[in-house]
Amino acid sequence: MTALKPYLRIMGRYWRRLLLGAALMFATTAAAVGLLALSGWFITATAVTAVLLGAGAAVAFDIYVPGAGIRFFALARTVSRYFERLYNHDTVLRLLSLLRRNVYAGLTRLDAATLGRLRSAEVLNRLTADIDALDELYLRGLLPPLVAVVAVLTLTGGLALFHPALGLLAGGILLGGLLVAGLISAARAARSSREAVQAMTELRVRVLDLVQGLAEHRA
């Protein structure tokens, strides 16, 4: 977390854009949940209506209003998803641009002795891989879990209006599932991420050493 403090401070400068991006992602999630819920209800209601009609009951079933709702949620999900991806990626590119400027400025302030202790591959890795990895921090690491928690709380509140016990049960199960899934994913990704970074650094070291040694071999 300490290593992320500079990035988090930069994110604080764009808090309005971050909030709007989170709102767009929440709108996408809400439209997807609404589409799934309405489609499930529509299929179930159609099956129940068919059973009742088969039993000889007189049933009137309106297919136009649910159909319009399904089309609305499908279109809303597509549109909100498009603008969410466009807006959030623009925000991330702004963040990375500012972060790269800060990193370059920090390197220029180092003295020759400090720069001499850094291998070219290490500097290259910090300027490329380390910064590019932060591209995924906001879009995949911070924003989706936050939006998922807000969506679960919203769904829990909506269910609690009709059945408090059912709402609390559903909210507890969903929040518990999010927590367990997050912990398992973090545990599995931590080791592979460290190995990938180490392997990439070693590869850059060997490539740069090879390129720098070509002149001696040619001589």
Residue-wise pLDDT for 75-92, tens only, equals: 999 999 999 999 999 988
47 and 21 in a single domain? The answer is: yes
135 and 94 in a single domain? The answer is: no
58 and 151 in a single domain? The answer is: no
Average pLDDT over residues 61-78: 90
Helix, strand, coil: what percent of the chain each, to 5? Answer: 90, 0, 10
> What are the tokens at 138?
């906001």
Decide which of 150 and 124 is more confident.
Answer: 150
66 and 151 in a single domain? The answer is: no
> What are the tokens at 129?
């891989």
30 and 133 in a single domain? The answer is: no
CA dist list (Å): 172 to 31, 49, 167, 189: 22, 33, 9, 25
Q: Which domain holds residue 50?
A: 1-109
Domain final residue, candidates 68, 90, 109: 109
* pTM, 2 dp: 0.77
Mean of the per-residue pLDDT values for the chain? Answer: 82
> What are the tokens at 151?
């969506």
Overall domain count for the chain: 2
With a CB cutoff of 8 Å and minimum separation 6, the contacts of 103 are 126, 127, 131
**What's the pLDDT at 81?**
94
Decide which of 23 and 127 is more confident.
Answer: 23
Element spanning 69, H or E:
helix 64-108
83 and 154 in a single domain? The answer is: no
Task: Classify 165 in phi/psi space as left (phi over 0), alpha (psi -120 to 50) or beta.
Answer: alpha
CA dist list (Å): 138 to 103, 121, 124, 132, 133: 19, 26, 23, 12, 10
With a CB cutoff of 8 Å and minimum separation 6, the contacts of 144 are 25
Tokens 């297919």 belong to 63
Residue 102, Cβ density class (10 Å: 0-12 exposed, 13-18 middle, ≥19 buried): middle
**Res 199 pLDDT > 90:** no
